[in-house]
Amino acid sequence: MNCSIRGAITADSNTREDILLNTRQLLKEMIELNEVKIENIVSILFTATKDLDAAYPAVAARELGIVDAALMCAQEMFVEGSLKMCIRVQMDVQTDKKQSEMRFVYLKNAEVLRPDKVKKQKKIAVAIDGPAGSGKSTLAKELAADFGFIYVDTGAMYRSIGYKCIDNGISTDDVKKVSELARNINMEICYIDGRQRIFVDGIDISDEIRTQQVADAASAVAKMQDVRKTLVKLQREIAKNNNVIMDGRDIGTNVLPDAEIKVYLDADVSERAKRRCGELAEKGIEHDFYKVLDEIMARDKQDKERRFNPLTVAEDAVIIDTTNMRASMVKDAVAELINEALL
Ligand code: DC
CA 12 to centroid of chain Cα atoms: 21
> Going by C-beta distance under 8 Å and a sequence separation of 6 or more, which residues neighbour residue 153?
137, 140, 196, 247, 248
CATH code of the domain containing 75: 3.30.1330.40
Residues with catalytic annotation? 6, 62, 73, 76, 88, 106, 114
* Claim to verify: residue 231 and residue 252 sit in the same structural domain: no
* Claim to verify: residue 265 and residue 225 sit in the same structural domain: no
Q: Whose CA is nearest to atom 12 of ligand 1?
A: 219
* Claim to verify: residue 130 and residue 217 sit in the same structural domain: no
Range of the domain at 259: 122-149+243-343
* Claim to verify: residue 202 and residue 312 sit in the same structural domain: no
**138 three-state secondary structure:** helix
Q: Which amino acid is at 341?
A: A
Q: Ligand 1 site: residues with CB under 6 angstroms?
A: 132, 154-155, 158-159, 215, 218-219, 222, 248-251, 299, 303
Q: Whose CA is nearest to atom 1 of ligand 1?
A: 155
> Going by C-beta distance under 8 Å and a sequence separation of 6 or more, which residues neighbour residue 138?
327
What number of other Cβ atoms are within 10 A of residue 74's Cβ? Answer: 9
Instruction: Report d(CA 221, CA 219) in Å as an integer.
Output: 6
Cα-Cα end-to-end distance for the chain:
36
Instruction: Report d(CA 150, CA 144) in Å as an integer.
Output: 6
* Claim to verify: residue 183 and residue 60 sit in the same structural domain: no
Angle between helices 175-184 and 225-241 (to 10 degrees): 20
CATH code of the domain containing 261: 3.40.50.300
Q: How many domains does the chain have?
A: 3
Phi, psi of 214 (to 5 degrees): -70, -35
* Claim to verify: residue 264 and residue 128 sit in the same structural domain: yes
* Claim to verify: residue 258 and residue 297 sit in the same structural domain: yes
Choosing from 223, 241, 259, the residue where a domain stops is 241
* Claim to verify: residue 247 and residue 305 sit in the same structural domain: yes
Instruction: Report d(CA 8, CA 142) in Å as an integer.
Output: 30
Instruction: Report d(CA 315, CA 253) in Å as an integer.
Output: 8
Instruction: Report d(CA 57, CA 46) in Å as an integer.
Output: 7
Pocket probe mutation, ligand 1, options 158, 189, 224, 301, max atoms within 8 Å of Cβ: 158
What number of other Cβ atoms are within 10 A of residue 56's Cβ? Answer: 18
Instruction: Report d(CA 323, CA 333) in Å as an integer.
Output: 15
Atom number, ligand 1, closest to the C-alpha of residue 247: 18
* Claim to verify: residue 232 and residue 332 sit in the same structural domain: no
* Claim to verify: residue 266 and residue 140 sit in the same structural domain: yes
CB distance 246 to 256 below 8 Å: yes
* Claim to verify: residue 195 and residue 68 sit in the same structural domain: no
* Claim to verify: residue 126 and residue 253 sit in the same structural domain: yes
Full pLDDT tens readout for the chain, 343 residues:
899 999 999 999 999 999 999 999 999 999 988 999 999 999 999 999 999 999 999 999 999 999 999 999 999 999 888 999 999 999 999 999 999 999 999 999 999 999 888 876 678 999 999 999 999 999 999 999 888 788 999 999 999 999 999 999 999 999 999 999 999 999 988 877 667 899 998 899 999 999 999 999 999 999 999 999 999 999 999 998 788 999 999 999 999 999 999 999 999 999 999 999 998 898 888 899 999 999 999 999 999 999 999 999 999 999 999 999 999 999 999 999 998 888 7
